[in-house]
Structure 1
Amino acid sequence: MTVPSTKATAMSTSRRDFLKTSVLASSLLFVPKFLHALDRQGLSSLRDANGRRLVVVQLGGGNDGLNTVIPYRDDLYYRARPTLGIRARSGILPLDKDLGFNPAMTRLKNLYDQGQVAVLNSVGYPNPDRSHFRAMDIWQSGSAADQYVTTGWLGRYLDSSCATCPRPYNGLEVDDTLSLAMKGNARKGLALRSPEKFNQLTQNRFLAQVTGQAGPAGGSELDYLYKTLAETASSADYLYQTAKVYKSAVTYPNTEFGRNLKTTAELINSGVDSRVFYVSLTGFDTHVRQQEQQGKLLGDLSEGLGSFVEDLRKSGELDNTLVLVFSEFGRRVGQNASNGTDHGTANNVLLLGGGLRRQGILNDAPDLLNLDQGDLKHQLDFRSIYATILHDWLGADDKAILGSHFDRLKGLV
């Protein structure tokens, strides 16, 4: 039997350790497989953002917009929803144009009264898709219904506006996995639950050993992986050390969504150099007994965002922050036999922030007399909202990012 040489044994051990590290990396990194190397000499911020940032809140499952922003003076609404329709005596929170917030949204109503909320009705796109997965892909990619795109609108923003940025944390998603919206061709965001937990994961001894090495040369995939591991360790350390600067004293809901918003506020208020943040609240697929389930979720949304705005206002960061709240589709106008609603089309979108130049109800209420086979017709293409945010708020080339021209909402931000 041939005895392996000391050199071969060392290489075998090194390879085993490296493979262990690779498995660790693939499970904890929630980042693109191959990122650009960390250029410690050229750290630069996102071009033209002027210190502004965007926080996206995704309502997963298809939130019922008609029971969120309620047309409580429209008899057609109650005819379509004889038991599911929310009556004024239930505590509807009046807005403008005969619309009102769901009774659970008291803190959002307070922000509305302070001029820090804008409501856009009947937002959608032509030929809408009612599949959760496909509809979410369309909203997250910014594509048309007949287009299949593998990058997200925010990922492409990172691509186009951060060509020289070496940091994956210029876009952060407070979650375990990275959404399509945050994936670009060359740049992708970074997903993490908290800076502390993310940093702990990078303290694995094999990872520490590998990231301390130069790695193989030659531009191979193995080289990319070494660089990815080094960049991940550097990012984890930066986020962990920077996030220590600020710990929130504001009370948030004791829910996953509340905790994720608190983490987002702490990252922002600590001065983390990120321009895009992404947070999700799921559970809106309300086919059965909708009122109780949706009311609880909308209460969580309202309380969470109320605390988030309070946090940013106290730190002086609210005027530089814009919050976009969306869901992949609305629900059908009529209730179903299970006292719920089925998948629909157009929906409302909320914008929050101290820098809004237009507030309140920005367009007409949904037209319940002019439906498309029982569904709302969209008044506004969601990509017009994206174009407005990209160009007017983040200072980016909206046409290049979205692949086409969409009319922007004048004077919004």
Structure 2
Amino acid sequence: MQRRRFLQSSALASTLLLVPKFLHALDRPETRLAALLRDAPTGKARRLIVVQLSGGNDGLNTIIPYRNDLYYKARPSLALKETDGILPLSDDLGLHPKMTGLKGLYDQGQLAVLNAVGYPNPDRSHFRSMDIWQTGSGSEQLLTTGWLGRYLDSNCAGCELPYQALEVDDTLSLALKGQLRKGLAVKTPSKFHQLTQSRYLSRLSQEAAPAAATSELDYLYKTLAETASSADYLYDKSKIHTSTATYPNTDLGRNLKTTAELITSGVESRVYYLALSGFDTHVRQHEQQGRLLGELSDGLAALAADLQKNGEWDNTLVMVFSEFGRRVTQNASNGTDHGTANNVFLLSGALRKPGLLNAPASLADLDQGDLRYQVDFRSLYASILADWLGADDQLVLGPGIERLAGLV
């Protein structure tokens, strides 16, 4: 191969790949992920869908303490009132008016709300706080692998599929990057398949490097072969089922529909990862947050109905998080600045404890103007890993992280 062509193909492979070199023989039946999974109540393997709200969603205007005078005092023009159409969850807490889809799931016992989730010594930087959430680290740690990537490393021994975890996007998040294994970023199966079908790349992926080679060239050959095999598998699987459900005509809506189609088509992924951005609402928060929360709510309601119709909802758990909440007091631009603790949503047809799982953080006992966290997000991760995915949470997160009992 000419050096120039090798470098060109290397650049493309770096965008396609997302698996290490030793993952190969993708079509062997004994390597299929289902063989490594524990039984779910429905007899099917359990899966996790993570939805990341990027930018720091304002939790106080999402789960609203609509009978708390301190809330209205801190936000004289930004606070939502009962007359705005707040959707009551209890006598004093309610959902944002745009979240009617999630309110319906709440009423059906398919939504749980965990309040005041955070971590000690919080960081208000978007990038650092998102790294902490994606790696599952403490604020004093710097990790280069994600919590779901380490799940793949430690709980998929012998599993050679590069699509054990799928991010429905063009790039792969740190959360899905392990030391040995990584997830796969796929916006749509057809787009991913098309990227691997150029005549030049197709020929490269079919050429065999010397078996004993350990060079970069060997790595490239294997990467291209694995990428092409994954693209073929996902593309073929995606043709099995096309959803007829109506999703919001938004990027998130389309990504959720793709997720449902892959699940219903029988793709053997344990983890799906999606994101919705735009929550950094320093200015004119009402309109921006309302639009985004409506998009999220309608999309998740459509996903739940779609998967329930196809018998895949009881073995699916959705976790919705943001890297931090916002300050309690509104700013001068009718928005909110970076805060700390926040709420997390859990959705499934198999929740053991739906509803409000704990009390919200006190507005009378703030930490320098911020909400005090009550639940360490790593305890939530530990519970999901051990109780839902059947994994060894200590191998993924390290010792000393206490699980939250009885969530799933």
**Short-chain TM bin:** over 0.9
What CA distance in whole angstroms lies between the structure 1 residues aligned with 2:153 and 2:129?
23
Q: Give the letter for the 2:141 counterpart.
A: Q
Q: Give yes or no for contact 1:35–1:187 (8 Å, CA) kept in 2.
A: no
Task: Report the Cα offset of residue 206 of structure 1.
Answer: 1.3
Task: Report the Cα offset of residue 49 of structure 1.
Answer: 4.0
What CA distance in whole angstroms lies between the structure 1 residues aligned with 2:7 and 2:278?
38
Task: Report the Cα offset of residue 412 of structure 1.
Answer: 1.1
Task: Report the Cα offset of residue 39 of structure 1.
Answer: 4.9
When normalised by structure 1's length, the TM-score is: 0.95
Written as runs of structure 1 = structure 2, the 5 A alignment for 1:65-214 is 65-96=59-90, 98-214=92-208
Does 1:38 pair with 2:33?
Answer: no
Q: Give the letter for the 1:31 counterpart.
A: L
Counterpart for residue 42 of structure 2: none
When normalised by structure 2's length, the TM-score is: 0.96
Written as runs of structure 1 = structure 2, the 5 A alignment for 1:9-408 is 12=2, 15-27=3-15, 29-32=16-19, 34=21, 36-41=23-28, 42-45=30-33, 47-50=36-39, 51-96=45-90, 98-217=92-211, 218-408=213-403
What CA distance in whole angstroms lies between the structure 1 residues aligned with 2:400 and 2:306?
36
Q: Deviations over 1:25-71 (max 9, x none)?
A: 223x1514645233543423163443000000000000000000000
Q: Give the letter for the 2:18 counterpart.
A: V
Q: Give yes or no for contact 2:241–2:261 (8 Å, CA) kept in 1.
A: yes
Q: Match for 2:407 among 384, 395, 412? A: 412
SS at match of 2:405: coil
Q: Deviations over 1:320-341 (max 9, x none)?
A: 0000000000000000000100
Task: Report the Cα offset of residue 355 of structure 1.
Answer: 1.0
Q: Deviations over 1:329-380 (max 9, x none)?
A: 0000000000100000000000000010100000012200010010000010
Q: Give yes or no for contact 1:97–1:365 (8 Å, CA) kept in 2.
A: no
What CA distance in whole angstroms lies between the structure 2 residues aligned with 1:295 and 1:272?
34
SS at match of 1:389: helix
Q: Which runs of 4+ in 1 moved over 4 A?
A: none
Q: Give the letter for the 1:87 counterpart.
A: K
SS at match of 2:48: strand
Q: Deviations over 1:177-221 (max 9, x none)?
A: 100000000010000110000000000111111111111332223
Q: Give yes or no for contact 1:123–1:379 (8 Å, CA) kept in 2.
A: yes
Q: Deviations over 1:140-170 (max 9, x none)?
A: 0000001000000000001111121111101
What CA distance in whole angstroms lies between the structure 1 residues aligned with 2:78 and 2:390?
43
- Aligned-residue CA RMSD in angstroms? 1.3
Q: Give yes or no for contact 1:30–1:177 (8 Å, CA) kept in 2.
A: no
Q: Give the letter for the 2:196 counterpart.
A: T
What CA distance in whole angstroms lies between the structure 1 residues aligned with 2:299 and 2:17?
25
Query: Which structure 2 residue ranges, 5 or more long, are not aligned?
Result: 40-44
Q: Give yes or no for contact 1:151–1:180 (8 Å, CA) kept in 2.
A: yes
What CA distance in whole angstroms lies between the structure 2 residues aligned with 1:96 and 1:48?
38
The structure with the larger Rg is 1
What CA distance in whole angstroms lies between the structure 2 residues aligned with 1:139 and 1:373?
22
SS at match of 1:216: coil
Task: Report the Cα offset of residue 18 of structure 1.
Answer: 3.4
Task: Report the Cα offset of residue 223 of structure 1.
Answer: 1.0
SS at match of 2:344: strand
Task: Report the Cα offset of residue 19 of structure 1.
Answer: 3.3
Q: Give yes or no for contact 1:49–1:393 (8 Å, CA) kept in 2.
A: no
SS at match of 1:319: coil
Task: Report the Cα offset of residue 313 of structure 1.
Answer: 0.5
Q: Deviations over 1:255-301 (max 9, x none)?
A: 10110111111010100000000000000000000011000000000
